[in-house]
Amino acid sequence: MSKVHILGAGAIGLTFAHALSKQHDITILSRNQKCREWLYTEQQTSVIKAKTLSIAQAHSTNEKIDNCFVCVKSYQLTQALTDVLPLLSDTANLIISHNGMQDLTKLTKQLKVHQALYFVSTAKGALKLSDHHAKASGLGDTFLGACNLSAKAKIEQVYQAFFATLLPPSFIHNDINQLRWQKLAVNIAINPLSAMHQVPNGQLRQPRYASTILSLLNEACAVAKCEDIDLPLSNALQSAYQVMTRTQNNFSSMAQDVKLGRKTEIDAICGYIVELGKKHHIATPANMAMLQTIRDKH
Ligand code: KPL
């Protein structure tokens, strides 16, 4: 049994907390001081076996964190890492999971030499039912990738402790850049369209969405190629359609954000492709149109 801290009590944070609590000692780091009990619904609803600590309380104790999952929105990542980095032990595992693309080079430079950074790409569907309650809504694959040398050295150990049996089906991915781009491609294909039409992921398999999905991913793959990323269009399409099937009843995080009038992650998803398109002189009209449509809904 290890001690695991989870920062970010959204749908994915609570999914991880629920799964890992079966074998580990979980603390949810929360900004919402009032929340003391977290619920998770799979077939039945259960109370997640976890302590809750505010960020301020965590800073006031002398205890260092050995394993920290950060599951926040892309636009909250910088603040979350500022909060958590001073709390980490010198050999900590920092495991981040978010949508969209973030510059991890700056983050890896902030880490001490034996602190390990991992990225998790998960297509586990989950819905937040209320502030403290999430519900499983799909069983997509989860991939763990190492972002620095310390993580490469320990990845098998981390995979066995937290993923292999507790978060199935899960796998180690050996190419972190490809892993991050594959995740980005899935989110480009699913999130904005499902948000625009307020449909569950599975409905995007209908032929009427096919040409938009093709244009979005065609642009993303062209840009990826200029960044030396091996992301063939056929693979991107296959992954996207596979996730639509595995999470068919799930409303994507962006569909939920738009419905509830919350800020979305569109800037780190289609916005990232538009920015890189400008850099490489590649036209990205489909991603640009999505960026504008979703931004107008904020
Ligand atoms: O990452 C997701 C999200 O909703 O943000 C997917 C995998 C598309 C699941 O809905």
Cα–Cα distance measured from residue 93 to residue 122, given in angstroms and rounded to the nearest whole number: 18
Cα–Cα distance for residue pair 63/213, rounded to 1 Å: 47
Whether omega for the bond prior to residue 232 falls within 30 degrees of 0, making it cis, is no
Both 228 and 82 in a single domain?
A: no
Q: How many helices (H) and strands (E) does the chain have?
A: 11, 10
Q: Both 184 and 132 in a single domain?
A: no
Structure confidence at residue 228 (pLDDT): 95
Candidates 245, 179, 263; CA nearest to 10 is 263
**Dist. CA 33 → ligand 1 center (Å):** 27
Last residue of a domain, one of 132, 156, 174: 174
Residue 106: per-residue pLDDT: 85
Predicted confidence pLDDT, tens digits, the chain (298 residues): 999 999 999 999 999 999 999 999 999 998 766 677 999 999 899 999 999 999 989 999 889 999 999 999 999 999 999 999 999 999 999 999 999 998 888 888 899 999 999 999 998 878 888 889 999 987 889 999 999 999 999 999 999 999 999 999 999 999 999 999 999 999 999 999 999 999 999 999 999 999 999 999 999 999 999 999 999 999 999 999 999 999 999 999 999 999 999 999 999 999 999 999 999 999 999 999 999 999 988 7
Distance 98 CA to ligand 1 centre (A): 10
Q: Which residue has the tokens 């307020």?
A: 198
256 close to ligand 1 (CB < 6 Angstrom):
no
Q: Tell me, what's the pLDDT at 32?
A: 66
The answer to whether residues 116 and 40 belong to one domain is: yes
pLDDT at 30: 85
H helix intervals, 91-232: 104-110, 149-158, 176-197, 210-226
Do 163 and 40 belong together in one domain?
yes
Burial 52-91 (b: 16+ CB within 10 A, else e): bbebeebeeeeeebebbbbbbbbebbeebbebbbebbeee
3-state helix vs strand vs coil in the chain, percent to 5: 50, 25, 30
99 touches ligand 1 (CB under 6 Å): yes
According to the 3-state scheme, what is the secondary structure of 219-231? HHHHHHHHCCCCC
The reply to whether ligand 1 has any atom less than 6 angstroms from the CB of 253 is yes
On whether both 14 and 127 belong to a single domain, the answer is yes
Question: Residue 246's domain spans which residues?
Answer: 178-295
Judge if 188 and 245 occupy the same domain: yes
Same-domain status, 160 and 13 = yes
Interface predicted TM-score (ipTM): 0.97
Residue-level pLDDT at 220: 98
Q: How far apart are CA 298 and CA 9, in angstroms?
A: 22
Strands (E), the chain: 3-7, 25-30, 39-41, 45-47, 50-54, 65-70, 88-96, 116-130, 133-146, 170-173
CATH code, domain with 122: 3.40.50.720
Domain match, 152 and 164 both: yes
| DSSP string computed for 99-123 | SS---HHHHHHHS-TT-EEEEEEEE
Cβ(243) – ligand 1 distance below 6 Å: yes
Q: How many domains does the chain have?
A: 2
The pLDDT of residue 33 is 64
Nearest to 194 by CA among 206, 180, 179, 182: 206
> What CATH number corresponds to the domain at position 251?
1.10.1040.10
Q: Calculate how far, in angstroms, residue 109's C-alpha sits from the geometric centre of ligand 1.
A: 29
Shared domain check, 253 and 201: yes
For residues 191 and 288, state if they share a domain.
yes
Q: What are 81's two structure tokens?
A: 């890492």
Q: Which residue, judged by its Cα, is nearest atom 7 of ligand 1?
A: 123
Provide φ and ψ at 200, rounded to 5°.
-70, 160
Report the candidate in 222, 246, 241, 247 with the shortest Cα–Cα distance to residue 233.
222
Last-in-domain residue among 174, 205, 233: 174
Q: Do residues 169 and 120 share a domain?
A: yes
**Is 45 in the same domain as 119?**
yes
Q: Pick from 174, 195, 222: which residue ends a domain?
A: 174
Q: How far is the CA of 24 from the centre of ligand 1 (A)?
A: 26
